Structure 1
Amino acid sequence: MTPKTTGEALITLLEAHGVDTVFGIPGVHTIELYRGLAGSSIRHITPRHEQGAAFMADGYARASGKPGVALVITGPGLTNTITAMAQARADSVPMLVISGVNRRDTLGKGLGLLHELSDQRGLMEKVALSSQRIESPAELEPALARAFEMMRAGRPGPVHIEIPTDVMGLPAAGISSWRTTAATRIADAEVIKRAETLIAASKAPLILAGGGARKASLALKQLAEQLDAPVVMTANGRGLLYAHRLAVPASPSLKAVRKLMAEADLVIAVGTEFGPTDYDMYVDGGFVCPPNLIRIDIDAVQLARWPATLAIEADAKAALEALVACRLAQKSARGSERAEVTRDAAWVEIGPDVQAQAKVVEMIRDVFPGSFIVGDSTQPVYAANLYYDHDRAGGWFNAATGYGALGFGPPAAIGAAIAEPGVPVISLSGDGGFQFSFPEIGAAIDAEANVIFVIWNNHGYREIETSMRDAGVEPVGVSPAPPDFCRIADAYNMPAERLVDIADLPGALSRAAALRKPCLIEIMVP
């Protein structure tokens, strides 16, 4: 047999690692990487911008639990992915970005080649967990193995691999198709015993659950019920205990939730980094790290950032299952009462305007149970991050926390729909944010990604305008004129509907769902 080229071997190895979809825009610097794609089992999705490719890979990863893969050209193709990679880094999303780079003998010489960067790897090392260059065909197999192990074994994030154009076409004889498996990081038995002792001594325990607990909903529920402990879920933890008597689906930045935390004699924090956009979003300095704290996190670096009475370095699901296995006695910690009081107080605290915006998200959830609602930085998303209970673990995610990349919602929703075609997917964006990435609706049509794009049109960056007024600053630059989104949808041959009354949203969503194709709904906000 004719030896495969390095580019063809890349596709074979990706298949072996379980990759079924890649997002990318081909160019002259990646043609050889595409040589084996047409004959493979991997589906290629073409976005309208490389940033969209990486955002799609992000949404795909969050929905599927597998790494999302983006394939881009050297130079501008790769730099266009940086924003999305930074969002994935902040939210611990596994993403593999594979790029070209100019031929080896030109690197770092400033020869003025097309798409040349002085130090592409040096740039990517600042945002990715790692950046590797394939200097010879023999390096491809171990590099991919390291990349997938990195994304699966510890705290996940984006990984970059670059392949020089003069390596892509080289013969790659002897490269076999195999995949690595990452062992679950379990908790040390002695550490679990110490945790058991601390828990047994507590009378008013509380659990904080973040995005790192998304795969541990059953064990989390079991432990909470054993301890009679309320569970506060951060934005990325919503859906873990939907409608449960112990659930508190409210932001730890709210005074009511902080009061609950302050009154607890033991806090068990699972997969949460105590980031300010969850715990101090008003930047009032009111968050105080619990004095009696058990932290469970897969990342040792993260555990070192906040002092804890006991740190458990382990996979969240494995650690919670180990604690459940201790069969801790059912407590009389008034957990249901404490949770209910906090829920009621938090709902009142956010006030009527924010309540009304959060109810928009509840409308969407109630029309589409078990859906993915993928948000951008817009008023209903901010509101729901403050208070909202989703009915699917990992089904509510957005870029309005952490890195906060505007334009995330539409492409990430497309990625989620491609990962889980049988699950309803709704993109929720503001008119300002939607203009960052609206051409990606064309990619949704191409890929037949069944996404309903909901646009909250308040004629500009209303949240920023409000913040400027609150700070005594005359608003400037916050009123970009929105286009006629329905006409844009029509130009893409996409069904669209404009609403002037929010009460009409459930009906519009049902009509869109019946079409079983990408649709757009624009809500005109007074």
Structure 2
Amino acid sequence: MTIRPLGAQISHMLKDRGVDVIFGIPGVHNQEMYRGIEEAGITHVLARHEQGAGFMADGYARATGKPGVAYVISGPGLCNIMTPMGQAYSDSVPMLVISSVLDETEAKRGQLHQMKDQEGAAAAVCDWSVTARTAEASYQLIDRALMQMETGVPSPKHIQVPIAQLEANADPAPDRADEWPYRPEAAPLQRIALIDRINAAKRPLFIFGAGAAHGVERWLSHFLRLNAASFTTYAGRGIIPDDSPLHFGATLARASSAAVIASSDLVVAVGTRLSEVDLWRDHLGNDAPLVRIDLDPEVLSDCHKADTRILADASAHLTESLMQLGGEKQTTWTGAEVASTRARWRAEIDAERPGILPVADALKQTVPANTMFYSDMTQFAYSAKEVYPMDRPGHWHHPYGFGTLGYALPAAIGGKIGLGDQPVIAILGDYGFQYTVQELAVAVELELTLPIIIWDNGKLGEIEDSMVRAQIAPNAVIQRNPDFLKLAEAYGAAAAEPTDLDAFKSAIQTALQAKGPTVIRVKSDIALTSN
């Protein structure tokens, strides 16, 4: 066995557990964690800010399905990554943050990077935060974190290791167990209960969240034979083909979707929290029985008060249940009513935020089918994520729950690192771009082919609209922007400013072939100037 300082052993352990990339920033308090990275064969991505490192780990995890891992220093390093940890927690993203921590904080004040309760601070924004005071505890806690991410509800975890422990020699971590436990599958009686309800329904409606995406190819054909209507949450887009005649799309946030749901005689919600940011109302709208299928017991006991609650891996349970339903089912849903409703909702979206949908349509016409998107808190994304047709799940990522600005650029960098040659695009507002603009240097440094679309309306447009609706005189919503093209060039990136939709398409095509990132500034009136 090779004896090394614990900091180095941790990197070797992570490599043995399948970790190939670590995002972070070294410092005097966590430098021992960097001793073993190259020796272990792990790629390290140097972020320009710990917030960027966290969002990169998030984007990598969403793209690959593997945990995103970040190394940060004690004190400010951990504080800086807490926003990404909160985002990952709200959106169920597997992220492992490993930090150093001071050896003693009670009797000695004024130390570098000192916090009163670093473990407790991190615990506020992740699933759990713990201190590993020995090498054995470090190894056990890392395995616990990785196992829970793979077999349960994905979520971020934080492990901190005292500096003296990181520096002390330690034996290697034990070999990984051959297999983790399997995710729970519903009992046969629960499958029978679901099948009986579906057989009895004349107007069944399914709502799919991201938790149903894994293994969709195993059950989709069986589901389509049900002739049930369907919605997806924003995160579940692409699970049901967008052109499926009985699919309402990711439009649960439309107020009148409650009436559609009320017209069903059975609602089955699969792998979704049905959270505020999915619905934007307190009640789903159903009068009929509600069935919930989810891995998370908290979801099954929430305010929606399901009549049937099934604790199971959503995809596995659907596969087993739907395969037993036999032939095609007759329902009272019609393609005409779904198409009419979707057309009405699209018109609503277009009226709420004019000029966005033509740009979204142009984007769809331009990019390859397997393009992965990362969007920020920007009006373009708010409209596009309701109507942009996705032909596969898990390919449009957004800071849904925590709703933090500055997410898209570093997350897209992490996603691109994870996906390699697969196309990735970042979509940001002009204000949110400036939260994490420094991470553009990482994309340049790594020569990542990455179109970065900046939707520029010169203000906090969504906040201004909200103030007007609340009869508040708009205040502090107009900012002076830099010259985004010169800023991009200063970092070493390419830049473009298309003036019409044809030029926009051409700029995207060029950026997808470029060596390195391209900042594409799109003025919010581009669709109007194209007419």
TM-score by length of 1: 0.95
User: What code does the residue aligned with 1:147 have?
Assistant: A
1:106-125 to 2 correspondences below 5 Å: 106-125=104-123
Question: Does the 8 A contact of 2:350 with 2:357 survive in 1?
Answer: no
User: Which digits, 9 at most, give the CA deviation of each residue in 1:253-307, with x for residues without a partner?
Assistant: 2134322211110011011111111112xx5x56435541111111011111131
What is the Cα deviation at residue 499 of structure 1? 2.2
Question: Does the 8 A contact of 2:2 with 2:172 survive in 1?
Answer: no
Establish whether residue 386 from structure 1 lines up as the match of residue 379 from structure 2: no
Question: Does the 8 A contact of 2:212 with 2:236 survive in 1?
Answer: yes
User: Which digits, 9 at most, give the CA deviation of each residue in 1:90-142, with x for residues without a partner?
Assistant: 11000000101012xx1333511100111111111221111121111121221
- 2:188 is aligned to 189
Question: Does the 8 A contact of 1:365 with 1:371 survive in 2?
Answer: no
User: What code does the residue aligned with 1:122 have?
Assistant: G
User: What code does the residue aligned with 2:111 have?
Assistant: L
Match of 1:297 among 294, 297, 317: 294
What is the Cα deviation at residue 345 of structure 1? 2.7
User: Which digits, 9 at most, give the CA deviation of each residue in 1:471-503, with x for residues without a partner?
Assistant: 111111111211111001110111100123244
Question: After the TM superposition, which of the residue ranges 467-476 and 336-345 deviates more from structure 2?
Answer: 336-345
- 2:160 is aligned to 162
1:434-513 to 2 correspondences below 5 Å: 434-513=433-512
Establish whether residue 520 from structure 1 lines up as the match of residue 519 from structure 2: yes
Question: Does the 8 A contact of 2:258 with 2:286 survive in 1?
Answer: no
- Alpha-carbon distance in 1 for matches of 2:193, 2:326: 13
- 2:529 is aligned to none
Helix, strand or coil for the counterpart of 1:51?
A: helix
Establish whether residue 238 from structure 1 lines up as the match of residue 209 from structure 2: no
Helix, strand or coil for the counterpart of 1:38?
A: helix
Establish whether residue 57 from structure 1 lines up as the match of residue 57 from structure 2: yes
Question: Does the 8 A contact of 1:500 with 1:525 survive in 2?
Answer: no
- Alpha-carbon distance in 2 for matches of 1:371, 1:185: 32
1:56-205 to 2 correspondences below 5 Å: 56-103=56-103, 106-173=104-171, 175-178=173-176, 181-205=180-204
What is the Cα deviation at residue 357 of structure 1? 1.2
Establish whether residue 6 from structure 1 lines up as the match of residue 3 from structure 2: no
Structure 1: tracts of 5 or more residues without a match: none
What is the Cα deviation at residue 248 of structure 1? 2.0
Q: CA distance change for structure 1 residues 517 and 174 in 2, over 3 Å: closer, same or farther?
A: closer
Q: CA distance change for structure 1 residues 83 and 46 in 2, over 3 Å: closer, same or farther?
A: same
Question: Does the 8 A contact of 2:195 with 2:325 survive in 1?
Answer: no
Q: CA distance change for structure 1 residues 524 and 351 in 2, over 3 Å: closer, same or farther?
A: closer
Q: CA distance change for structure 1 residues 416 and 332 in 2, over 3 Å: closer, same or farther?
A: same
1:329-408 to 2 correspondences below 5 Å: 329-337=327-335, 338-352=337-351, 354=353, 356-368=355-367, 369-399=369-399, 401-408=400-407
Helix, strand or coil for the counterpart of 1:18?
A: coil
Question: Does the 8 A contact of 2:261 with 2:285 survive in 1?
Answer: no
Question: Does the 8 A contact of 1:207 with 1:224 survive in 2?
Answer: no
Question: After the TM superposition, which of the residue ranges 208-217 and 266-275 deviates more from structure 2?
Answer: 208-217
| Alignment coverage as a number of residue pairs | 520
1:40-55 to 2 correspondences below 5 Å: 40-55=40-55
What is the Cα deviation at residue 247 of structure 1? 2.4
Q: CA distance change for structure 1 residues 354 and 249 in 2, over 3 Å: closer, same or farther?
A: farther
Q: CA distance change for structure 1 residues 290 and 447 in 2, over 3 Å: closer, same or farther?
A: farther
Question: After the TM superposition, which of the residue ranges 319-328 and 463-472 deviates more from structure 2?
Answer: 319-328
Helix, strand or coil for the counterpart of 1:405?
A: coil
Question: After the TM superposition, which of the residue ranges 439-448 and 66-75 deviates more from structure 2?
Answer: 439-448
- Alpha-carbon distance in 2 for matches of 1:474, 1:7: 54
Helix, strand or coil for the counterpart of 2:374?
A: strand
User: What code does the residue aligned with 2:167 have?
Assistant: G
Question: Does the 8 A contact of 1:256 with 1:342 survive in 2?
Answer: no
Helix, strand or coil for the counterpart of 2:206?
A: strand
Helix, strand or coil for the counterpart of 1:514?
A: coil
Helix, strand or coil for the counterpart of 1:453?
A: strand
Q: Which aligned segments of 4 or more residues in structure 1 are displaced greater than 6 angstroms?
A: none
- Alpha-carbon distance in 2 for matches of 1:220, 1:81: 38
User: Which digits, 9 at most, give the CA deviation of each residue in 1:413-443, with x for residues without a partner?
Assistant: 0011011012111100000110111111101
Structure 2: tracts of 5 or more residues without a match: 526-531
Helix, strand or coil for the counterpart of 2:301?
A: helix
Helix, strand or coil for the counterpart of 1:222?
A: helix
- Alpha-carbon distance in 2 for matches of 1:356, 1:290: 37
Question: Does the 8 A contact of 2:94 with 2:154 survive in 1?
Answer: yes
Question: Does the 8 A contact of 2:261 with 2:286 survive in 1?
Answer: no
Question: Does the 8 A contact of 2:449 with 2:511 survive in 1?
Answer: no
Helix, strand or coil for the counterpart of 1:231?
A: strand
User: What code does the residue aligned with 2:455 have?
Assistant: W
Question: Does the 8 A contact of 1:296 with 1:313 survive in 2?
Answer: yes
- Alpha-carbon distance in 1 for matches of 2:331, 2:258: 18
Question: Does the 8 A contact of 1:5 with 1:172 survive in 2?
Answer: yes
- Alpha-carbon distance in 1 for matches of 2:193, 2:521: 54
What is the Cα deviation at residue 353 of structure 1? 5.3
Give me the identity figure in percent: 34
Question: After the TM superposition, which of the residue ranges 494-503 and 170-179 deviates more from structure 2?
Answer: 170-179
Question: Does the 8 A contact of 1:12 with 1:177 survive in 2?
Answer: no
User: Which digits, 9 at most, give the CA deviation of each residue in 1:338-389, with x for residues without a partner?
Assistant: 4323322322332445464134233223322211111001111000233332
Question: Does the 8 A contact of 1:209 with 1:272 survive in 2?
Answer: yes
- Alpha-carbon distance in 2 for matches of 1:395, 1:95: 18
What is the Cα deviation at residue 514 of structure 1? 2.2
What is the Cα deviation at residue 326 of structure 1? 1.3
Question: After the TM superposition, which of the residue ranges 108-117 and 197-206 deviates more from structure 2?
Answer: 108-117
- Alpha-carbon distance in 2 for matches of 1:359, 1:268: 34
- Alpha-carbon distance in 2 for matches of 1:505, 1:333: 43
Question: Does the 8 A contact of 2:454 with 2:521 survive in 1?
Answer: yes
- 2:528 is aligned to none
- Alpha-carbon distance in 2 for matches of 1:428, 1:174: 43
- 2:322 is aligned to 324
Helix, strand or coil for the counterpart of 2:4?
A: coil
- Alpha-carbon distance in 2 for matches of 1:307, 1:447: 49
Question: After the TM superposition, which of the residue ranges 434-443 and 206-215 deviates more from structure 2?
Answer: 206-215
User: Which digits, 9 at most, give the CA deviation of each residue in 1:199-243, with x for residues without a partner?
Assistant: 111000011011212224324522431211122011101111233
